[in-house]
Amino acid sequence: MLRVALTGGIGSGKSLVGEYLEQLGAIVFDSDQLARDVVERGTPGFDAIVKRFGDGVLTDGQINRAKLAELIFNDKSARADLEGIIHPR
C-alpha cells in the first residue's frame, strides 16, 4: 500500500487535496481533525486543557482556538504543555 503525507502551511490546499484523494478512493487520515476531536467538550483532553489554561480559553463552553493559540504561540512552555495533552490522545 502506498502511503502519502500531505504537509504545508495554513491555506496551502492540504484539505482540498485530501478531498480529491478521498474521491479517488484513498483513505484519508486527517490529523488536524483528530487533534480537534480529542479536545471536544466532555473529553479528558478538554478537561486537561481547561485545568492547565483556565476558563479564559473558553467561549460559550467551547475551547476558543484563537485564545488558546494566543497563549501557546507566545510561550514555549505552554505550547509544550498543550502538545503533551493532545499528542498522546
pLDDT for residue 31 is more than 90:
no
**Residues 56-89: tens digit of each pLDDT:** 999 999 999 999 999 999 999 999 999 999 999 9
**Residue 55, CB-side half-sphere exposure with 13 Å CA sphere:** 2
pLDDT digits (tens, 9 = 90+) for 42-59: 999 999 999 999 999 999
Rounded to 5°, the CA angle 82-73-76 comes to 65
9 band by pLDDT with thresholds 50, 70 and 90: confident
Contact 36, 47 (CB under 8 A): no
pLDDT at 10 > cutoff 80: no
> Is residue 1 very low, low, confident or very high in pLDDT (cuts 50, 70, 90)?
confident
Backbone angles phi, psi at 59, to 5 degrees: -135, 125
Percent of the chain residues past pLDDT 90, beyond the cut: 74
Q: Are the C-beta atoms of residues 68 and 53 closer than 8 Å to each other?
A: yes
